[in-house]
Homo-oligomer: A and B are copies of this chain.
């Protein structure tokens, strides 16, 4: 099951060009390419004639020509030419998906195109905001996408999963506050007058006790924004002057490929050492390595869940409050979709 009426990250802007590319989102095969005017196009990756993936074909101007019998499709998915006959048969078309380019990302809408409102795309403007310096990447993961959302909603895992990269033992002693609406969850944790982890100590460039904050926002269905930073003790708490500290906005979004495979898209925008290539590299390395640690844990967790006996339960902890709030919101959205009669994924395997 996927939430279909939603925007998902399809690709980074520079991944798409004039060579058709095969992708899969929510179990549906999609071919991505750009028209001659540069506009990104996403079509169903399956010719309506004999089902060859259209990504096996080639672009002829703005039409995509099937590599088997030469049927040609325009950017709306309509078949506009059939070799050897003058009339295009009725019904000869493939699905076209709404796409929007924003903040260096190409977003795709899987559900009913009539409901595709670009205003619903998460605000990830920090990725290209000149006041911030961002690095990022994408990590394929052999797990259901919500397992990584669970991971993000409880950052106490940092102590155990990222002990040697980001770890700081104080995180799990700090309480969290959970706020919620019908579209988002906010989990706030303040760690006052304590020692930050390796990465943030180095970013701050000062010794002495610190205040730290982690304000994690979740948006339906699988988007997050983390407001994270560190400042000298006394200035990091609510009402403090953040200008004494350093901070980042971490834009993370999971795209479901199918029920057991996902893609983790992350961008880490910092407001310190901006435009500094060495700082870019250090952030890419440190943060990127930490996310690989997460991926390894999540894939092992998925394999364990796959073989769990029927009826097996999970024990919940205090620190799971945010995660449980997110899961309730997500399950409610799925239930609304089912109640509305939205069809399920048409090609989930």
Contact = CB atoms under 8 A, between A and B. Distances in A.
Interface stretch (A42-50, A192-200, A212-220): A42-50
Contact of A83 (B57, B156, B346): B156
A341 interface: no
Contacts of A48: 314-315
A308 B156 contact: no
**Chain A contact surface mostly:** loop
Contacts of A85: 317-319
Given A52-B300, A66-B160, A69-B319, 18 more contacts: A29-B304, A46-B308, A48-B314, A49-B314, A51-B308, A52-B297, A52-B304, A53-B304, A68-B161, A69-B157, A70-B156, A70-B160, A70-B172, A79-B315, A84-B172, A84-B173, A84-B319, A89-B316
A145 to B, nearest CB: 16
A68 B299 CA distance: 12
B346 A309 contact: yes
Copies of the protein in its oligomer: 3
Contacts of A308: 46, 51, 347
Interface in A293-333: 297, 300-301, 304-305, 307-309, 313-319
Interface in A141-162: 150, 154, 156-157, 159-161
A53 B300 contact: yes
Contacts of A159: 70, 83
B84 A317 contact: yes
Interface residues of A, number: 53
A91 to B, nearest CB: 6
A201 interface: no
A290 interface: no
A349 interface: yes
Given A83-B159, A315-B92, A69 B154 contact: yes
A133 interface: no
9 contacts: A27-B307, A50-B314, A52-B301, A68-B297, A83-B159, A84-B173, A84-B317, A89-B315, A307-B349
A347 B306 CA distance: 10
Nearest to A86: B318
Contacts of A316: 49, 89
Nearest to A309: B346
